[in-house]
Amino acid sequence: MQSSTTNRFCKFCHCLVMLLLLPAGHAVLAEDRAGHAEQVQKLIYGEILFHARQQEYAAALTELLLAYEQGTLPPVSDETKVLLARLKLAYGLDVEAGFTLHDLQAEGLPPPVSNRAWYELARTFFQKGYVDAAREALDQIRGVLPKDLRGEHQLLVAQVLMAQGNNEQAARSLETWRGAPELAGFAHYNRGIALVRSGKYAQAITALKQVTAMQVEGEELLALRDKANLTLGYAFAKLDDLEQARAHLQQVRLHGPFTNRALLALGWVARNQGRDADALVPWTELRSRSTADPAVLESILIVPFVQRELAALPAAIHDYKTAIGTLTDEMQMLDDTRQTVEQGAVVNALLNKRPGVEGAAGQSSDAAAVAPDARYFGPLLASRHFQQAARGYHDLRSLLDSMDQGLDNLNRLAQHVESTPDSGPQPGTAPLRSSDSAPVTEPDGIAKTGRMSGSRTSSPQWVDEWESTEGQQQVRHAPGIPVLPEIELPPDRAVKSPQSEFTGLPEPDFLGLPATPDAFGLPDPEIIAYPDSEILRLPDSGKVKLPFKDDDYAYPDYLARDEVLNIPPTKRRIRRQLARSDTDVGPAPAGTALQGLAAELARAAERLALLGETTGIPTDDLDFARRLASLRERILQLRKRIIAAIQLDQHYARALALAELDQRENRLKDLLEQANLGLAKTYDQATDR
């Protein structure tokens, strides 16, 4: 009996304990599940980082946006909020990135967190020539910048100011250098250029001498010193100090990217000092060099001219005849090159070539390495416009590859649907994306073209279209898309080293100076290409070792000022719609330049929609076959659009190349005319004697 009572009591206690522990157990279980969910969120975020660190920005963005949608991101810190903007920027959606940053700012994001992103946005805009938009982005930077960015920010601010014509303000902005000591040379040089442009030669000389006084090593800094000496020669000449000009020109290295210009200038200094015979020394040296350089072509004309003046008529006649032969040969080569450019082969080869940083400054022969006909395209390769065209081309090819991959996946999904009529769950199904099913790429980044054979068979229309337009081209797989600068600068952002491009002709009306109020002053920055000696330098990410990157050039050629667009009401509505639904952008941005870009983006998106790229099938339609068909149609339409954009890009690059050839042809024609005239005069002079 007692035992029975004890047993009942024990059972009661057991139940009581269980009842008491039940909520606690639930709590532990809930806590455990929350911990698991948090860990999964971290894994998903880590996967986004995994893609981002490898510059797979499209994959990272897709994952990130999906995670946002599905709420599978960990509670976001300020840094992770900025990550979305920075990923968009790295992927090339810089306008959207700008809006995202404005949104974050409106949410009260502390400025120091977003400063780096604003700087990167400004730099991207500046590289694209959107100077006003770059200025707006720079204006958003508040407070103290990260230490590693201070110098680059200072240089970028000065460049933007100079691009806007505020040279004096730019010079002032560089008076106190706040960056790394090893970058000080760039600041002094840029300040010198800003002062030259504002006509303050004496101050410019002081700044430039700081560059030449530096003990430097490495090709990039040696080339910078050469440029400083070349510009010092110019500045001293403007101050009528020819001896000093000569002294600095002589300090330019004999074998460097600026040697030819220095030799040409030295000859002119000697001649203007009345030492004609001495002038022949550098010019004779110069004319023995490659005729691809315009400086050399001019020297072969100057030498016989001086010989005629010195009454060395037989030598002058001989050299004029040689010059005419050389110029004629050069003209022929130029014509041949023009034909190949018009056929598209050369430009496509240049676009296909992945830019690198190999080669010393100014000595790179990448253009010639692409094709012998491309020897004239050094300045073209170095130009901002061509660089942007090449980047756009690679981005588009990458998009095309992405769509190919999408079609491939669709085909597999379609096969899956066909094999499972109810489209039900298929445990154990082979994964669509595992490491084994990833697209196969060659080590150099060229995709195996055969990998899409299945989908090509099923889509003859676009296959025919593509093959008919792109027959001779290699398909490139996923080249670097614009970089997330903090992480790494990919090689394809590099810019080819420039070749010297100048017109060292002695008379202002010989080749025609640009129309400027002061023919002897610096021309309007809007209509000239700044000389290499005045090209500004912005080293990358605080590293000096990367020579001749895109960032190094302030504006090697024409810079389009941002257009402040007058947006009609209907377009404003479109922009608002875009802002709300399509581009993840929030309230109106602060800057008119960014608004202008957004309006253009909205119009382009509207065109895309009108062309029927999006179908009416809801994305949550339960009929998988319909959804697959709809998605396939979207991809095919989008693919056509990408191909059209590639053709537009090629056309644009070809126009740039032909414009470059036009310049050279005009110059050659003038030189040839002068050579013939000079020869005739020399014959006359000989007859008279």
Partner 1 sequence: MNHYPKPVSGRCGTTLLSLCLYLVTASICMADNGQEPIKSEHFRELDIEIQVLKKEVLKVNRDLQVLEKELLYPHGQQLVVFVSMANDTSLLLKDVRLQLDGQVIAAHTYSRGEETALHEGGVHRVYVGGIREGKHTLEVEVAGADPQGADFSRQESRTITKEPGTCYIELRIQADPDGRMPAVSILEW
- Give 175 or 620: the residue with its C-beta nearer to partner 1: 620
* Minimal distance, residue 468 CB to partner 1, in Å: 21
* Minimal distance, residue 495 CB to partner 1, in Å: 16
* Minimal distance, residue 543 CB to partner 1, in Å: 17
* Minimal distance, residue 10 CB to partner 1, in Å: 33
Q: Provide the phi-psi class of 476: left if phi over 0, else alpha when psi is between -120 and 50, else beta.
A: beta
Instruction: Give the chain's largest Cα–Cα span.
Output: 152
Structure tokens belonging to residue 97: 């990135």
Compute CA distances 344 → 338, 349, 374, 462, 475, whole Å.
10, 9, 12, 22, 16
- Give 85 or 597: the residue with its C-beta nearer to partner 1: 597
Which residues face 223 on adjacent strands?
A: none
* Minimal distance, residue 16 CB to partner 1, in Å: 31
Q: Which residues of 190-207 are buried (b: 16+ CB within 10 A; e: fewer)?
A: bbbbbbbbbebbebbbeb
- Give 504 or 589: the residue with its C-beta nearer to partner 1: 504
Report d(CA 442, CA 475) in Å as an integer: 11
* Minimal distance, residue 19 CB to partner 1, in Å: 26
Terminal CA-to-CA distance of the chain, rounded, Å?
A: 152
Q: How many CB atoms lie within 10 A of CB 551?
A: 25
* Minimal distance, residue 301 CB to partner 1, in Å: 9
- Give 213 or 677: the residue with its C-beta nearer to partner 1: 677
Residue 360 CA from chain centroid, whole number: 20
* Minimal distance, residue 39 CB to partner 1, in Å: 5
- Give 322 or 388: the residue with its C-beta nearer to partner 1: 388
- Give 180 or 645: the residue with its C-beta nearer to partner 1: 645
Report d(CA 422, CA 306) in Å as an integer: 91
* Minimal distance, residue 487 CB to partner 1, in Å: 8
Report d(CA 41, CA 448) in Å as an integer: 35
- Give 123 or 271: the residue with its C-beta nearer to partner 1: 271
| Matching residue, tokens 């110098």 | 151
Helices and strands in the chain, H and E counts: 26, 0
- Give 233 or 485: the residue with its C-beta nearer to partner 1: 233
Compute CA distances 549 → 304, 402, 403, 491, 497, whole Å.
39, 28, 30, 9, 8
Report d(CA 40, CA 38) in Å as an integer: 5
- Give 141 or 598: the residue with its C-beta nearer to partner 1: 598
| Matching residue, tokens 């967190």 | 113
- Give 345 or 417: the residue with its C-beta nearer to partner 1: 417
Tell me the torsion sign for CA atoms 310, 313, 314, 318: positive
* Minimal distance, residue 67 CB to partner 1, in Å: 11
Phi, psi of 83, deg, nearest 5: -55, -40
Q: Provide the phi-psi class of 199: left if phi over 0, else alpha when psi is between -120 and 50, else beta.
A: left
